[in-house]
Structure 1
Amino acid sequence: MDLTTLKSRHLQARKAARTDADQGAAATAAVLGRVMGDTETLAKNKPGTAQLDLIASVTAAQRASLEKEVQDLTRLGRSADVAIRELEILQGLHDEVMGIKAQQDAEKAASLMSEAELTAAIGAAVAAGATNIGAVMKLLKAQHEGRYDGAVAIRLAREAVART
């Protein structure tokens, strides 16, 4: 999910709210509009951050804010129907975003080298003359960039360099 998807959904919800006088579509349009606006602002303040991560952050923050609003309205004895409806929509969007993130994380983890493969690659780097962690990591990056977990690689490189 990205900003383009949010904009498309927002436009559809706005059209549905106009033609059907559907309050559900109006609530969806309101929620998507806020999420979209906050995500665009956050994207400007944090350039280079994945849009999915920004959307997840925004939906989590807005969900917390709406939950507080529902509590405050209830405490004051006022109707919280609109806020509850929007909270349900926001929760659904947040769940969808987190599901996509979990799937991407699983795919990334599946594509990473195993610890045994990483150990073999680090051993080859040491055998090729890398005598310190920096040299090992430089060779590892040159040959396997994006295919290993950096924290695991550093731990294994420290162990390999200590053995030499």
Structure 2
Amino acid sequence: MERTSFEHMDCPIALGLEHVGEWWSILIVRDAMHGISRFDQFQKSLGISTNSLARRLNALVDAGILERRQYNQRPPRDEYVLTEAGRAFRPVLITLYEWGSQHFPPDAPNVRLVDSESGRNVEPLLVDRSTGRPLDEEHTRFEPGPSASRRLRELLTVRNA
């Protein structure tokens, strides 16, 4: 099955998914945030085929989310570390973690999100940086941007009425 490209869309969600939209990509970034950096570590953690892992790592490097660094010359071996763009994906992972915990909780979670100082579980909440207000339906809405199609403008106008 051929993957659809979103690179020509004007939507930030679609453009972001162009680079991290495959589930393996998000899990690779998750593992990188947990400290995994070497090919064999990713392969062992995920159980992904070596060909699929190599493709996903290369795509994440090409997208500027991971950086390849050689750690051994003979034989040549690389590690993969998060770039600034990769580290900036952390809030997205935290939000996905919280959403999954709320709606599809595992029987026994293998990881907890805790406050670094107290060790207490945290409950993530997205807020607007300037107002501190939650980014929920009560306080926010999507409005058409400059490149919105007529169809999208109509849809959002009806939705926001």
Q: Which has the larger radius of gyration?
A: 1
Relative to the length of structure 2, the TM-score reads: 0.23
Q: Larger relative CO (CA 8 A, sep 6+): 1 or 2?
A: 1
Higher strand share: 2
Relative to the length of structure 1, the TM-score reads: 0.23
Higher helix share: 1
